[in-house]
Structure 1
Amino acid sequence: MGAEIITGIAEFRATVRDWCRAHVPAEWRATQTGATDAEFVNFQQSWFQELRTAGYAVPHWPREYGGGMPIPEQIVLYQELAAHDAPRLVLPFVAIHHAAATLLAGGTAEQRQRHLPAILDGELWVQGFSEPDAGSDLAALRTAGRRDGDDYLVTGQKVWASGAQYADWCLLLARTDPEAAERKGISYFLMDMRSPGIDVRPIRQATGESHFCEIFLDEVRIPGANLLGTENRGWQLAQQTLGAERGLTMLELAERLGNAGFRWLVEECRKPGALGRPALDDPRTTDRLARLETELTGLRALCRDLVERHDAGTAGPADASIVKLYYSELLQRMTDFGAEISGLPGQTVLRKPMSGGWESGTWVLDFVGSWEWTIPGGSSEIQRTIIGERGLGLPREPAGAR
Structure 2
Amino acid sequence: MKRSVTVLGATGSVGGATVDLLLRHADRFEVEAVAGGSDARALAEVAVRLKARRAVIADETQGEALARALELTGVRSAAGARAMTEAASIPVDWTMAAISGAAGLAPTVAAVRRGGAVALATKECLVCAGQAFMAEVARAGATLLPVDSEHNALMQALGGQSVAEVETMTLTASGGPFRDWSAERIAAARPEDALRHPTWTMGAKITIDSATLMNKGLELIEAHHLFAIDPTRLDVVVHPQSVIHGLVAFKDGAVTAGLASPDMRVPIAHTLGFPDRLSTPAARLDFAAIGRLTFEAPDMGRFPALGLARAALAAGGAAPTVLNAANEVAVALFLARRIGFMDVPRIVEETLEIAAGRPFGAPGTVEAALALDAEARRLAAERLPEAHFRAH
- Does the alignment reach a TM-score above 0.5? no
Larger-Rg structure: 1
Q: Which has the higher helix share?
A: 1
TM-score (norm 1): 0.28
Under a length normalisation based on structure 2, what TM-score does the superposition of the two structures give?
Answer: 0.29
